[in-house]
Structure 1
Amino acid sequence: MSTAAAPVRSATRRMSTLDRWLPLWIGLAMIAGLLLGRFIPGVSTVLAHLEVGGISVPIALGLLVMMYPVLAKVRYDRVAAVTGDKKLLISSLVLNWLIGPALMFVLAWTFLPDLPEYRTGLIIVGLARCIAMVIIWNDLACGDREAAAVLVAINSVFQVVAFALLGWFYLTVLPAWLGFDTQGLEISVGQIALNVLIFLGVPLLTGFASRWIGERRKGRDWYEERFLPKIGPWALYGLLFTIVLLFALQGEQVTSRPLDVVRIALPLLVYFAVMWFIGLFTGRALGLGYARSSTLAFTAAGNNFELAIAVAIGTFGAASGQALAGVVGPLIEVPILVGLVYVSLWAARAWFHTDPYTNERMPS
C-alpha cells in the first residue's frame, strides 16, 4: 500500500505525556515487580496458583485490559483492504513461521550449547508467535492498526495448527538430523486454541462490538473524538499491570540466578533486534510504506509469552530451566520492543521520509 493511499492519521495520535514517559513507567513497573517477588513472601506462590486451564488469571486480565482499547480503535470496515495485500500477508507468514523459529533454533544452540533446559525453553519461545502485546507496540509506533489486527488473527490460526508440529520438528527431528540432543514436547491443540481464544478472541470481539455499537448509536465522530480518548490510557495501565505481575511471579528466580538470566537474555536480545530489522527492511523493500512496514516488523519480532510459559511449565514443570527461559522471554522483550518503538518512529522520517503520526510524505 502506498503512502498516498494510506488513511491519514489525526495529529491527536502524537505521543501523549503518558506515552512519552513510557520507558520510565515500565522501568518502575519492572522494579516494583522484582521487589514484590523477591521480598514479599508468598506473592509469587499466590500468583502461580491463580490459574485456570494453565492460564494465569491476573496476567490474562492485564493483557485483556491492555488490548481492548487498541482493538476498539481499529476501523474494521478497512480490514478488507489489508486482506488484499498479498505482499504483506505472505511476508508476515514467512517471517513468523519460517524465519522466526529457525533463527531462534540457531541462536539457542549457538549461545546455549551446554544448557539444554534453557535452550529448549528459548526454542519454545521462538515457536509462540505474538497475538497480544504486539498490538500495543504497533500502536505506539503508529503502525497500521487494521493490518496488525489481520496479521495477529492469521498468526493465531497458524498457531493452533502449526505450534505442536513445529515443536516436534525443532526439538526432536532437526536436532536428530544434526546429531544434537533431542527433547520431547507435549502440548494439546485444545490448550493452544484456548490461549488464542482468550488473548485474541475476547478483546477482538469486545473491540469490534464497541465500535459497531458506538458508531451505530452516536456516530463515528463521537466514537473517535469522545469515547476512544477516554479508554485509550487503559491500554498502558494494563501493560504496566501485566509487567508488574510478570516480574513478581519470577522475581525470586530472576534475582537469585542473575548469571543464568544473562545467558538466556543474550540470544533473546539478538533475536528481537534481528527479527524487527528484517521485518522493517522487508516492508521497505516491498514498498509497503512506513505504517505497514512497522506493523510487519513488530508482528515478526513479538512472541506469545503466555503460551510459551504455559507449555514450558506444563511439559517440564514450574521449577524447570525451560520455564525460567520462557519467563525471561517477556522480561527481555518488553524493554527491547519499547526501545524499538522509538527506533521505528525515527526510521519513519529517516528511511521512509514519512511523518509517522499522519502517515504523510515529508519533503526529501
Structure 2
Amino acid sequence: MRTADFVRFAWLSLSAHRLRTFLTALGIAVGIAAVILLTSIGEGLHRFVIDEFTQFGTNLIGIQPGKTSTHGGGGLGAINTVRPLSIEDAIALQHAPHILLSDPMVQGNADVEHAGRSRRVTLYGTGHTFHQTLRMKLAVGDFLPADDPRAARAFVVLGAKVAQELFPDENPLGARMRVGGERYRVVGVMAPKGQVLGFDLDDTVYIPVGRALEMFNRESLAEIHVTYEPTAPLAEVEEGIKRVLTARHGREDYTVTPQQKMLEVFGTVLDAITFAVAAIGGISLLVGGVGILTILTIAVSERTAEIGLLRAIGATQRRIMLLFLGEAAVLAALGGAAGLALGSGIAAILAVAVPALPVHTPWSYAVVAEISAIVIGLVAGVLPARHAAQLDPLEALRSE
C-alpha cells in the first residue's frame, strides 16, 4: 500500500464515523485546552510577580532586624530581643564596599488632614534617597531634603492619591497640613505608581525617618534599603554589609535579603507552580487517551471483515498495525489542534475581560502539549492495532 493510499484510507475511515471521531477528538481537545489555559494563568502570574519586584531594580538589598532563615520581613518579630536597626546603621552602610545608596525606612499608619479633609494613609518614614533607591519618580516638587535624618525638618511628600484627595483644586506645594497631629509643609508629590503586590503606593505619605520613629514611638527601623554597583559581585556586597553591621551589633542579629536571590526563589517556585498546573491539565489528556483506546477497540470489532479483506489482498500485519496507529495519531492531532485554538482563545478572552488577571500563553508548553497528545494517541492505539494485525485473515473474512 502506497503512503498516499495509506493516508487516504485512514482519513476515510475516520470520516465515515464523524460523530464518533468528533467526540473522541473532543476529549483530547478539552485536555489540551485545560493545559493551555492553566499554564497561561501560571505563566502570567510568574511574569506579574517578577515584573512587580524588578521595577524596583535588581541591585537592591533589604536588611531587616532579627536573624531569620527565611526571606521577607519575618525577623520583625525579634525586634524586642535583639539590637534594633538604627539610623546610624544606615549611615554606616553608606561606607560599605560597592554600596551606592543606603536608606532607612519605617512604616505605619497615620491620619493626614488639610482644610477640613482627612484620611488615614500608610506613612513611610524614609531618608532623602528613598525615591532613588526604589526607582520612584516625582510628579512635582522635590523629595525630602538631605537633612540629618535624626533631626530633619517637618517636610512631607504626598502620594498621588493623597494629593488628589486633600488638594483637589489647588497645588499642594508649600501648603501646610497635619500628619499624625503635627504640622508639616508639602515639598513634593509622587508620580502615580498604582498597586504593587496589593499595596497602594499612591495612598501614602513620606516624612523624615527620625520623625516617623518618634511618631510611632519605635526604636528600630523596619528595614534598610541599599543599592550597590550593578557590576559588583553579590557575595562581596553581602560580605561587606555583614562586616559593617556585625562590627556595630557584635553579632549577626539581622537578615540580609538581596532582591536578586528573592527573584531566583520566586522564579523557582513559580516555575514549579506552572509545571504543576500543567500536570493537572495533563490528566485530561490521559482521559482523552482512554477515549481513543475505547473507540479504536470498538472499531476493530466492527471492521473485522474489512481487516480480513486487506490481509487477503496482501496487506501485512505491520501495515494493518500502522493503519490503526495512523488513525489514532490523526485523532489526537486533530483534537490537539482544536484544543490549542480553544485554550489560547479562552486565554485571550480572559486577558481582555479580566485585565487584573495576569495571563500569558507559554508556547513552549503548547508545543509540548500537542506532541504529548499525539504520543498519547499512539500509545492508546497500540493494543487495538496489535489486535487487528493479529487477526487470522480467513476467520476475519468469515465474520462478514
Q: Please say which structure displays the higher CA radius of gyration.
A: 2
Relative contact order, higher structure (CA 8 A, sep 6+): 1
Q: Kindly indicate which of the two structures has a greater share of residues assigned to strand.
A: 2
- TM-score (ref. length: structure 1): 0.29
Which protein is richer in helix relative to its size? 1
